[in-house]
A and B are shown apart, each in its own frame.
Chain A
Amino acid sequence: MTQMMDKKRIWHANWSLILFTLLLVGIGLANLYSACAIRLEDGITFRPFYQRQLGFVGIGLGCMVLGMMFDYRKLEHLALPLFILSVILLLLVPLIGREAGGAQRWIPLGFINLQPSELAKIGVMILGAKMLAASRTSLGWKKFFTVLGMGLVPVVLVFAQPDLGTAIIILMILGGMIIFRGLKPPLVKVGIIFILLSPLLIWQVIYPNLKPYQQQRIKSFVDPSAASRDAMFQRNQALIAIGSGQGWGKGWMDGPQNNLHFIREKHTDYAIAVFGEERGFAGSVALVTLFCLFLYSIHATAREAKDRFGSMLCVGVFFYFFWQILINIGMVAGMMPVVGVPLPFFSHGGTAMVVNFSLLGIVLSVSMRRFVFKSA
């Protein structure tokens, strides 16, 4: 009986999301393959990132299937312990963390380097979904501050690491979920005033507390002449790569900005610059469209979910991907300050790949369980 129901459920899964995901993964792998190419005097050599990424995709797909089989409703009970665990790990980072680029972000676990800030992201997302799901109506002051207060605990810890990018993203995922749930009219009014005043807040409160290199990134976005030579170079070369792709692109593996290594970090944060150069405007618009369809599919599951918790989880995942896509492409295309955010399915990275697929597994789990079964 249960077996049969599971089989039936497969057909209810959000297949368009699976399709769009696989398309993105495929395109992302092909792009990474090209981004690994380096032209030398005697031909092209490859760095091994795309092979490892292939492995990560395999692991990720496994996680996705596991996520699909896993009943998302059990997450409701896991939400608080997961959140507390992530906060404890964040607190441990300054004690046993490993430094990367002047910031303590890693906890070495022997077989894997755990990034507590990533765990916190998911912890906040799930606990936020649970807390927001508890409310049948739009949020009033009390609930709003409860949810926000929950989120601010890890945000402050991540910010202190310092990892401004992740801190902002956690806050924005939670913010997105809150906005989805809706606010009572007085809060909306205050919220609008708050948003209008936020530049002042950023300038007076947040900016002075940033690390010098973070300030530099923001300064150089506002005033490019203040940027360091290196930062300017990296930024300009990415723009040149995308721009020189023009209408139809230079062709796969044929982008000189790519294979002559003018694009820095081309296999990670700047992978989209390689795509822009080699596929041109046509390919880039197609990719953006695919990302939008991908997001829309997640949104569809949020709409069709049978309960508030599942729906809120999907909204969390939606914003998880939405902000990464916006910030990453926005940064590479020169619309935003430099924030180290990878592009899902495009940037090389095992942790991100596993987390991405796991979250999609949860969304698929929600989509599979959107109907209530009643035995006759």
Chain B
Amino acid sequence: MRIELEPEGYQPPRMGLLILQGFVLLLFCLLVLRLWYLQILRGDYYERQAHSNRWKDAQIYANRGLILDDNGVILAENSPAYSLALIRESCPDIPQTLAGVSRLTGIPFSVIERNFNKARAVSKQSFAPLILAPSIGFEQLARVESQQQNLPGVTILSRQRRYYTQGHLFAHVLGYVSIASDADHKKFPELSIGDTVGKQGLEVVLEDRLRGIKGLNAFEVDVYGRQLVKAVEHKPRGGENIRLSLDADLQRAAMAALGDNAGCVVVMEPDTGRLRALVTAPSYDNNIITANSGPEWAKLLANPRHPLHNRVIQSVYPPGSVWKLPMANMLLAMGVEQSESVHCSGETKLGNRIFRCWKKGGHGRMNMTRALVESCDVYFYLMCERAGIDRITAFASASGFGKLTGIDLPYEKAGQVPGRELKRRTFPKDPTWHTGETYNTSIGQGLTLVTPVQMAVYVSSLLNGGKLFKPLLVDDDGPVIRGMAPSTDSQRKFIVEAMRRTVEDRGGTARRVVRSDAIMGGKTGTAQVVKIGDVRLRAEEMQYEHRDHAWMVSWGIKDDKKYVVVVMVEHGGGGSSVAGPVSAAVYDHLFGSNRTGRPGQKEAANVLAVAGQTPGQAGPDGPDSAYVTEALKAAEAWGR
């Protein structure tokens, strides 16, 4: 058998075969070229894309630093709070989901929608949670949790919320935190949307120390955002815990002593400027703000007693007779003899105007000590007329009035020291200074305005050798001397002694704080709110807002404890009768409630030690003219 192989004779079209070959070649070139472009030329680019595809960063919140009082009592801490958020990519129907959230939480749809749109505008990532409700209660949380499978994309975020354990007691000192505003985001680029930031009080001043540094987690995620590998890139660093110089118990005692009054209490350690209490009343609960309670906030804003106002640093008051302390010092500085006396008949005439002393019928003969102890107005009218307004302006400014104390709280006010320039600015229609205004200034009325904390700094300077300290709130801050009061040791000694006698002497106006176990000194003030008419009404007979402000500045020394206490009661009436008991209650807390009503029998040397000097070393006071120059220089230096 033989097999013969023979083609049929079919010849395929040559052109056709060439076309097929051409097609194969074309396919090869086209695809290889494209692959070369994608994988070789642009390979690095796509590699980066692939990397950022699956590696996502997630921030880890850093705990905000705690704030403690001097004894370690926690004043501000962090507690868990819950918020609702929406993840866009897991949500099939956003409007309906928003409506569902609104129904479950009872928050109006428009609010939820606004929150969503606000967050949506700044978030590019479809898997990033967008906050719908920044703070929900446990009941709302439970309702949403039970319905969560019907609301795909809705997640519950738990985060730290600031909680102030003492509520209204430290509201003005601590301030509060709140959701960062656009301005905050500009200022601190490290903040992310929805972060809270200090807005008031120490929370804002100490923001940098309290905030801490967020950590970063890197997650490898799949296309659905499921996290697979977690790598901590850096750990969060919590904010610094900050201990204050304030004492919560003392603060509470001082607040209680104020009762229903509007006013404030400052307790300062005169040798360092450390504040032990800083009370302002009425107060508010700063937790209301961190909980985002709009209506409560509106109520606070509308309250006629201004509970949001920190009276210690933000309210300026006429100092009244307390002002006689720096005035007496000025008189000493200009060379007025302590023994030079003035007769007080209850009033004095300037032209055809009558200036009255607070004591009807007058004090009789008054030297400087008696004028301070009994707070004689006529003495200061006449003596300060001799000094002249320019000297008053210079001396008071150099003593720290009319200037910020530099306390670590925002929105401090400077108050004002009367003077020709101020008069020109304030009353352009009547720009000249009149002697009658010098009279008013001499007793702390008229244009004179001070803050309670300025008063505390000034009184402390009498006890610490003239140092004008920055009032300190943070425990580990060292003392900061902001300036020196223009006074000599002997002048301060004289004033301190006069303050002691104001407490201890019969007829002294500060007898309310007298104690048997401590050396006490003080000065009261009753600052008129309305112009005094011919008839003086008693406080109870006047409308509340027309009543006088009551002042009491004092110091107390027991063993190694040394404090300056400034009490101001708004519209309280008489300094002695209203501010006195408050001060006494504060000292009860400071020194123990051992009050017999009799002054302690202490050696004069002790009192001299109070003034920061030893007897015999008191030098003669410098000549008046030189002193004013010095005071002016000091004033200038202070102002810088």
Residues on A facing B (Cβ under 8 Å): 8, 38-41, 138, 176, 179-182, 237, 239-247, 256-257, 260-262, 276, 280-281, 284-285, 288-289, 291-292, 295-296, 299, 302-303, 305-308, 311, 315, 318, 322, 325-326, 329-330, 333-335, 370-376
Contacts and interface: CB of A to CB of B under 8 A. Distances in A.
Contacts of A318: 20
Contacts of B7: 306, 370-372
Given A246-B43, A326-B30, 13 more contacts: A240-B49, A240-B50, A242-B39, A243-B43, A243-B46, A247-B39, A256-B54, A260-B223, A261-B223, A280-B39, A292-B27, A322-B23, A374-B6
Interface in B561-604: none
Contacts of A41: 226-228
Given A260-B220, A311-B12, A371-B7, A284 B35 contact: yes
B45 interface: yes
Given A39-B222, A180-B16, A305-B10, A243 B45 contact: yes
Interface residues of B, number: 49
Contacts of A182: 13, 15-16
A307 B27 CA distance: 28
Contacts of A335: 30, 34
Contacts of A280: 39
B618 interface: no
B228 A244 contact: no
Contacts of B50: 240-241, 243-244, 256-257, 262
B40 A281 contact: yes
B38 A239 contact: yes
Interface string B24-48: 1101101110111011101111110
B536 interface: no
B54 A261 contact: no
The B interface, classified by DSSP as helix, strand, loop or mixed, is helix
A176 B222 CA distance: 43
Given A292-B24, A326-B27, A333-B34, A303 B5 contact: no
A142 B457 CA distance: 113
Contact of A244 (B6, B10, B46): B46
A135 to B, nearest CB: 10
Q: List the 9 closest pairs (A to B, CB-CB), nearest first.
A: A243-B46, A246-B43, A180-B16, A244-B50, A376-B2, A260-B222, A281-B39, A374-B4, A371-B5
B336 interface: no
A371 B47 CA distance: 54
A261 B8 contact: no
Nearest to A245: B39
The A interface, classified by DSSP as helix, strand, loop or mixed, is helix
A376 B1 contact: yes
Contacts of B49: 240, 243-244
A336 B598 CA distance: 103
Given A257-B53, A326-B27, A307 B8 contact: yes
A299 B39 contact: no
B34 A322 contact: no
A71 to B, nearest CB: 15
B13 A40 contact: no
Contacts of B10: 305-308, 311
Given A240-B49, A244-B49, A302 B31 contact: no
B111 interface: no
Given A256-B50, A373-B3, A299 B35 contact: no
A281 B35 contact: yes
Given A257-B50, A285-B35, A307-B8, A244 B43 contact: yes
B27 A239 contact: no
Contacts of B228: 39-41, 260
Interface of B: 1-8, 10, 12-13, 15-17, 19-21, 23-25, 27-28, 30-32, 34-36, 38-40, 42-47, 49-50, 53-54, 220-224, 226-228
B225 to A, nearest CB: 10
B99 to A, nearest CB: 23
B224 A261 contact: yes
Contacts of B8: 306-307, 372
Contacts of B42: 243
Contacts of A260: 53-54, 220-223, 228
B446 to A, nearest CB: 72
B39 A243 contact: yes
B17 A302 contact: yes
A180 B19 contact: yes
Contacts of B16: 179-182, 315
21 contacts: A180-B13, A239-B38, A240-B46, A240-B50, A241-B50, A244-B50, A256-B54, A257-B53, A261-B223, A262-B53, A281-B36, A281-B39, A281-B43, A284-B35, A284-B39, A295-B20, A299-B21, A325-B27, A374-B3, A376-B1, A376-B4
A308 B42 CA distance: 47
Nearest to A257: B50
A38 to B, nearest CB: 8
B341 to A, nearest CB: 93
A305 B5 CA distance: 13
A372 B3 CA distance: 10
Contacts of A322: 23-24, 27
Nearest to A246: B43
A289 B28 contact: yes
A250 to B, nearest CB: 9
A21 B573 CA distance: 107
A179 B35 contact: no
A295 B36 contact: no
A295 B31 CA distance: 14
Contacts of A242: 35, 38-39, 46
Contact of A375 (B1, B25, B53, B221): B1
Contact of B17 (A284, A303, A330): A303
A124 B292 CA distance: 73
Nearest to A261: B223
A172 B511 CA distance: 113
B27 A295 contact: yes
Contacts of A256: 50, 53-54, 220
Nearest to A296: B24
A219 B387 CA distance: 92
Contacts of B21: 296, 299
A280 B34 CA distance: 13
Contact of A239 (B31, B46, B221): B46
A289 B54 CA distance: 32
Contacts of A247: 39-40, 43
B81 to A, nearest CB: 28
Contacts of B43: 243-247, 281
